[in-house]
Amino acid sequence: MTTEQLRSQLFSLAEPAYQVFSSSLLPGVSGVLGVRLPVCRKIARQLGKDGWQDWLEEFFALPDPFFEEAMIAGMTVALTPMDPEERIRLIRRFLPRIQNWSVCDTFCGSLKDARLYPQLYWTFLSEFFTASEPYYQRFALVMGLSHFVTPAYLEPFLARIDAFSHPDYYAQMAAAWALSICFIQFPEETLPHLLNSPLDNFTYNKALQKICDSFRVSPETKAQIRALRRKK
């Protein structure tokens, strides 16, 4: 499939009302056509069966791809069968194309390989936890909360969250989300990190808020968590 062919398909599948809705969730993001996520995933799976390499090379050369093109490219990298080393190489090439939370988080959630090859992926992720680019940090954090909140990686991941520092809102929200997931799944192990967290006040308070928003946390625990809130 060529870029021209894919764009023709996307234009025909775009829904004006959904475009308005999607754009409202993505402030500052241009090029949203209004193609639903399951449709993008179906296209990515079709691409993965034949011709995905050629299309992906065309995508990487695009100066300003549509939102859905980036989404499909990420899904193609994540879902197409290939050896893990090749996928890692493609992930590295794709990362500069992540320019919004939606593409980032969908991409991370689709990378199921991380659970099959955790050491390979954890080693790969390590360089991005302290990157200056905010979406590199969000990528590392969302990969962590999606695939590494496990007994084997909980403490290393919590150490990465403790060391988080970035002024970008979407990076901060990822760190808050990550800390909340750690607490929800491993409350006893995560509590000391909450009690002694070096995170900035905004990120820390957002983590507490996300914990309190969870249906998996008891009312009694939520009261204790609210008491930890820092004054701005």
Arithmetic mean of pLDDT, 186-194: 96
Distance (Å, whole) CA 95 – CA 13:
26
Distance (Å, whole) CA 172 – CA 149:
18
Query: What are the structural domain ranges in the chain?
Result: 1-110, 112-232
Tell me the percentage of the chain whose pLDDT exceeds 70: 100
Q: Give 68-82 pLDDT, tens digit per residue.
A: 999 999 999 999 999
Please name the amino acid found at residue 32.
V
Task: For Cα atoms 26, 30, 33, give the angle at the middle one, nearest 5 degrees.
Answer: 90
Query: Exposed/middle/buried for 27, CB within 10 Å: 0-12, 13-18, 19+?
Result: exposed
User: Is 0.75 surpassed by the pTM of this model?
Assistant: yes
Instruction: Give residue 123's pLDDT band: very low, low, confident or very high (50, 70, 90).
Output: very high
Contacts 24+ apart (CB under 8 A), 130-135: 130/163, 134/166, 134/168, 134/170, 134/171, 135/95, 135/98, 135/99, 135/100, 135/104, 135/170, 135/171
Is the pLDDT at 232 greater than 80? The verdict is no
Q: Give 24-56 pLDDT, tens digit per residue.
A: 999 999 999 999 999 999 999 999 888 899 999
Is the pLDDT at 180 greater than 80? The verdict is yes
Give the CATH number of domain 112-232; options: 1.25.40, 1.10.3470, 1.20.1530, 3.40.50: 1.25.40
Is the pLDDT at 174 greater than 90? The verdict is yes
Q: Where are the alpha helices (DSSP H) in 14-66?
A: 16-25, 37-49, 52-61
Tell me the percentage of the chain whose pLDDT exceeds 90: 97
Q: Give 100-121 pLDDT, tens digit per residue.
A: 999 999 999 999 999 999 999 9
User: Please, are residues 151 and 185 in contact by the beta-carbon 8 Å criterion?
Assistant: no
The pLDDT score that the predictor gives to residue 23 is: 96
> Tokens for 130?
């302290």
Is the pLDDT at 1 greater than 90? The verdict is no
16 CB-side CA count, 13 A: 0
Question: CA distances (Å), 150 to each of 39, 58, 115, 132, in order?
Answer: 32, 37, 10, 27
